[in-house]
Amino acid sequence: MPTKYGAALMATERYHPLFASDLAAACSYYDAIADTLGNRFRRNVRSIIQTLVERPESFGRIGGDFRGALVHRFPDVVVFTNDGGIPTIFGLRHAASDRRDWFSRAIPLTSGEPEETCEPPS
């Protein structure tokens, strides 16, 4: 459907519903250390998401179809897949955390169909 500006709006990325809680937890952690650190973390997460939306193939595979984008100056990784040119962001993980948990999320569908499951790497 065209917008008032002419072209139809296209999704540029999708988020797992739990990504917001991952981000909130990490922001709370850095805010507790210093407000300026938390603000820098937020800016850097926004920046890396913008970059992975623009160039998803430039990030290395970390297991199966999953890719990882390291947040600049922080030990945190944005875990995502590239589905037909549209990144699906599954989570924000500390780089030293248990990687098995990184790949266990599925994207819920809104149509009532079974969830789309991404297989963890072998």
Q: Tell me the per-residue pLDDT of 4-55, one tens digit each, with 9 for 90 and over.
A: 555 555 668 999 999 999 999 999 999 999 989 999 999 999 999 999 999 9
Residue 66 belongs to domain with CATH number: 3.30.2310.20
What's the CA gap between 116 and 114, in Å, rounded? 7
For residue 84, what pLDDT band results from cuts at 50, 70 and 90?
A: confident
Report residue 1's pLDDT band, with 50, 70 and 90 as the boundaries: very low
Residue 119 lies in a domain: no
pLDDT of residue 92: 97
Q: Half-sphere exposure (CA, 13 Å, Cβ side) for 43? A: 7
- Tell me if 99 is assigned to some domain: yes
Specify the number of domains making up the chain: 1
| Residue 9 forms part of a structural domain | no
Long-range own/partner contacts, residues 111-116 (CB < 8 A, 24 or more apart): none
Residue 8 lies in a domain: no
Residues of the domain holding 30:
14-105
Q: Which two tokens stand for residue 56?
A: 């998803």
